[in-house]
Structure 1
Amino acid sequence: MSEPATILSVTPLARGWGRLDRYEVDHVRRDGTRQTVQREIYDHGSAAAILLFAPAARTLILTRQFRLPAHVNGDPAWLIEAPAGLLDGEKPEIAARREAMEETGYAPETMTFLFNAYMSPGSLTEKCACFLGRYTPGQQAASGGGLAEEGEDIEVLELGLDDALAMVKAGSIVDGKTILMLQALALRLAAGEAV
C-alpha cells in the first residue's frame, strides 16, 4: 500500500508521562475503497534495549522490576526483562549503554545492533532499538538497580542462556523485547555467528 493515510484530526486526551491522543484518519483499504477510522495513540517516545551476554560462560544479565500494567492485567507485577529505557533525545546506542549501567551496573564491552521493533503498533508509537552487548561476569562497575529519583527498584539477575530460554517456554519471561532478543541470540549461536 503506497498511498499515505490522511490525518483528519487529532484530539488531545491526556498529557502526563506521555501523550494520549485520539486520531481521525482516512486511508485506502486493500480493495481500493477509502475508510475513516478513529484510533487512540499513546506516545511516550522511542526506546533502546540491550541483552548483555557473556559468550564463554553463556550467561546473561537481566533485570526484575515492578510493572503496573502487568499487575492491572492480572499477571505477576515483577517482570524479568532486558535493560531498556526511553531515548530521551539520545541516539539508541547511547541510551542502551546508559540503561545497562543504570539498571545493571555493567558497562557493555561491545554492542551489536540486532533490530528495531514496534512494541505494540496498534496503540503505541514506541519503537525499540535492540542491541546485543558483551559483558564479563564479575566485572560489574556499579551496583545497578536503577535510578531512585525515577522510582526505580530493579533487581539484577545473572542467568544461564538455557535457563532464560526455558523461562520463556514456561511463561516466566513474558516481556516481548526480551523474548525477541533471546531468540535472536539463540539463532545467532545456532548459525555459528560471532556474538
Structure 2
Amino acid sequence: MADAPRPTAGIDTPDRRGRTGLDRHGRDLDGNPRVRIRDVEVLSSDWFVLRKTTFDYRHSDGHWSREQRETYDRGDGATVLLYDERRRTVLLTRQFRLPAYVNGHPDGMLLETAAGLLDDDDPETAIRREAAEETGHEIGEVRHVFAVYMSPGSVTERLHFFAAPYESPPRAGTHGVAAEGEDITAVELPFAEALAMIRTGGIADAKTVMLLQWAALEGPFAR
C-alpha cells in the first residue's frame, strides 16, 4: 500500500509565517475572459512565495495556447520621498542590496528613498513606520503620488509612492531593524545633486529615480 502524501508547509500545514493554502492564490480569477487558470504550484515559501501558474491564453487571432509563468509574491510595499522645500534638499537612505551587488553594482550600496513592505498595514501607516525606522524621522502630512507595478513580468508587488516634508537634518548613526539585519544610513543631498546622480549612475534605484523625477516635474521642486 502506497504511503499517503506528506503534508506540505504553506499548503496543507502552516509555514513559518503561519500561512496555508498558498496554492489557491489566483485560481478564482475571472476578470479576463482570455485567461483560464489551470494550475498553481508553490515552488518555495521560505519567506516570500514563488509560484508556477499554468494557464490557457486566447491570443488576438483567436487561438488558445497553454502557458506557464513563475511569479514572486513578496506582498505590496510603499516608499516615500522626504524633502525640504526651503533648503531644496532630499533625505535618502544608503544600504546594501545583494541582488544589485551580484548583478554588476560595484559595491551593492544603493541610495534609495525610504521604503518597505506593507505587511498588515495600510500604505500610509506602513510608510510612516518605514520612514521612522530607516531615517529616524517621524513624518507629518504625506501625499500619495501614485501606485505602480515595479516588475510586472515576474513580481506581483504593487508599490505605493508618497512624498512628505521633513525639517531637521538626519541623525548620526545607523538606522533600521537590527533583528532583520538592517544597517541603514540616512543621507541628505541637495535636490539638484540627487537629480544629476540619476544621469551618472550614482542613483540607480528605480523607485528613487521615479520620485526624484516626479519632484522635478510636478512636485515640490517643479519650476
Q: Same fold (TM over 0.5)?
A: yes
Secondary structure of the structure 2 residue equivalent to 1:113: strand
Q: How many residues align?
A: 191
Partners of 1:39 and 1:164 lie apart in 2 by 37
Partners of 2:222 and 2:196 lie apart in 1 by 20
Partners of 1:150 and 1:191 lie apart in 2 by 37
**1:41-74: CA deviation from partner (whole Å, max 9, x where unpaired):** 1101000000001110111110011111011112
Unaligned 5+ runs, structure 1? none
Matches within 5 A, 1:125-164: 125-138=156-169, 145-164=175-194
- Partner in structure 1 of residue 199 of structure 2: 169
Against the structure 1 CA distance between its residues 171 and 93, is the aligned structure 2 distance closer, same or farther, given a 3 Å change threshold?
same
2:63 maps to which of 9, 27, 33 = 33
Q: Which one is further off, 153-162 or 29-38?
A: 29-38
- Partner in structure 2 of residue 56 of structure 1: 86
**1:143 Cα deviation (Å)?**
6.0
- Partner in structure 2 of residue 23 of structure 1: 53
2:103 maps to which of 73, 87, 93 = 73
- Partner in structure 1 of residue 119 of structure 2: 88
Does 2:36 correspond to 1:6?
yes
- Partner in structure 2 of residue 122 of structure 1: 153
The structure, 1 or 2, with the larger RCO (C-alpha pairs under 8 Å, 6+ apart) is 1
**1:139 Cα deviation (Å)?**
7.6
**1:4 Cα deviation (Å)?**
4.8
**1:126 Cα deviation (Å)?**
0.6
Does 2:206 correspond to 1:187?
no
- Partner in structure 1 of residue 143 of structure 2: 112
Question: Structure 1 length normalisation: TM-score?
Answer: 0.91
Partners of 2:34 and 2:143 lie apart in 1 by 33
Which has the greater radius of gyration? 2
**1:99-135: CA deviation from partner (whole Å, max 9, x where unpaired):** 0000001122221000001111100011100000111
> Would you say the 8 A contact 1:101–1:144 is kept in 2?
no
Partners of 2:147 and 2:83 lie apart in 1 by 19
Question: RMSD across aligned C-alpha pairs, in angstroms?
Answer: 1.9
Partners of 1:53 and 1:191 lie apart in 2 by 13
Partners of 1:139 and 1:41 lie apart in 2 by 37
Partners of 1:173 and 1:138 lie apart in 2 by 20
Against the structure 1 CA distance between its residues 145 and 28, is the aligned structure 2 distance closer, same or farther, given a 3 Å change threshold?
same
Partners of 2:102 and 2:209 lie apart in 1 by 21
**1:36 Cα deviation (Å)?**
1.9
Against the structure 1 CA distance between its residues 18 and 65, is the aligned structure 2 distance closer, same or farther, given a 3 Å change threshold?
same
**In structure 2, what residue type is equivalent to 1:173?**
I
**1:18-46: CA deviation from partner (whole Å, max 9, x where unpaired):** 01111111122233322221111110100
**In structure 1, what residue type is equivalent to 2:149?**
Y
Unaligned 5+ runs, structure 2? 1-30
